[in-house]
Amino acid sequence: MVNVQNFKNMGYFKDNFTDWLIANKNLQRPKQLAGYMDAIANNLLTPMIGSDTLINDIDNAIHYVNGQEKVREALDLLYDFFKRLHAIAENGGANSAKARTILKQHNIKSSNTSNWTSVIDAYKLFMKDLIRNGSVRSSSTHYRVTPWNKDIDKIKKIESEVQAFNGTDSLLARFNNQADAFISTVMRASFFFSKKDAKDRFTKISKAILHNNTLPARKSIDNTIQSKIGSQLVFLSEDVNTHKKLTINIVRDPDGNKFVRNLIANTTGYKISAGDNSNFQYYIISHIWGDAFDPRNFTNFWNLSIVPAWANFILDKGNSNDLLAKQLINTFKAVCFKYYDMNNMNWKSIGKNVNEMMPDSQFVVHGSYTINVIDNKKNGDFGTINPEPITV
């Protein structure tokens, strides 16, 4: 019997699991096999989904009936995930490059996934022994499984994307599967706005918030974000610096981008998404940080770019786990951060913190890029457009 009543080390019963491997498996290096559980938690789960719950909270979960069910579900999921990831990476099929990219991104060898499949398989038997022989006793006390559900869903989403046929694969293949070459092409074909216009718009929005003036925002279906106070429609949030309630008077955009189109036209003279009258054909206005329902984001130039329609379908996938989407979005953010000098914007004046605006550095494709900058139209019909080199 494996007894864990006096168990002291936290996580997944590592010492007891090692003892179990020695007693039940003919292994030369049982400690090494047990240590693969640490590798799964530290080298894959933490960097990939930002949590090691599925491994390092087993010791807490296993004492409760609903917790035991979640541990079983998670172990089955991880076993299948590693097995499929290894198979896809090795089979040379359409998605093998995608699987290999994920492994390379986290410095994982294909052989690691094979080893991890073996250790999860052994751990499932170890856990059954713990429960069957009474080494751990389930309790009716409620155990919170919400973190388990979230992490399980994240793994399922990644697994689904790895197995899915991705239309961007053929696009990226035209660039010899080099993300930097693809992103450089998108950047060179995209348009940004002048530093002065971005600064002036930021100041105007911060003053509007200070004086309770009304700002435009895209409609949200979430009544906890946008609702009415009396007859006034408001955006509801929290000042992340003071943690005080933040209420901003808003007017909803009639079609989702009209205020942005008008802002661009009035500032630069150029029309976009205006049919045959558009100066930009097959281009789309992209909100780089998204959250267009937030009036602080909707018409701020640091959040706006005019991008080719064929690139926007990737840029607007803010919640995607697809590597190319993450790289494109975060490199765009890094370019905006550098070009607009966003570190020195007065984020406190709009209830934001610069740290929440930072791109995810692990997905920024560093290099030298060229962007197009549209200047204010000043006294002319159109603002000048000039190339601007940016290194991130």
pLDDT tens, 240-257? 999 999 999 999 999 989
**pLDDT above 70 (res 93):** no
pLDDT tens sequence across 169-203 = 777 778 887 889 999 999 999 999 999 999 999 99
Query: In angstroms, rounded to a whole number, what is the distance separating the alpha carbons of residues 371 and 94?
Result: 33
Amino acid at 331: T
Question: Predicted confidence band at 89 (pLDDT cuts at 50, 70, 90)?
Answer: confident
Question: Predicted confidence band at 260 (pLDDT cuts at 50, 70, 90)?
Answer: very high
Question: Predicted confidence band at 37 (pLDDT cuts at 50, 70, 90)?
Answer: very high
Tokens of 280: 């930009």
- Which letter, b or e, does each residue of 89-117 get, where b requires 16 or more Cβ atoms within 10 Å of its Cβ? beeeeebebbbbbbbeeeebeeebbebbb
The stretch 333-360 carries a mean pLDDT of 94
Domain ranges of the chain: 14-165, 179-211+257-391
**pLDDT above 80 (res 105):** no
Please give the mean pLDDT across all residues of the chain: 87
Query: In angstroms, rounded to a whole number, what is the distance separating the alpha carbons of residues 186 and 308?
Result: 7
Residues pairing with 372 in the sheet: 191, 387
Query: In angstroms, rounded to a whole number, what is the distance separating the alpha carbons of residues 235 and 98?
Result: 40
- Strand, helix or coil for residue 238: strand
**pLDDT above 50 (res 4):** no
**pTM for this one?**
0.65
Given phi > 0 = left and psi -120 to 50 = alpha, else beta, which region is 51? beta
**pLDDT above 60 (res 8):** no
- Supply the DSSP string of 143-167, one letter for each residue: ---HHHHHHHHHHHHHHHHHHS--T
Per the model's pLDDT, the better-predicted residue between 11 and 51 turns out to be 51
The stretch 203-225 carries a mean pLDDT of 93
**pLDDT above 50 (res 355):** yes
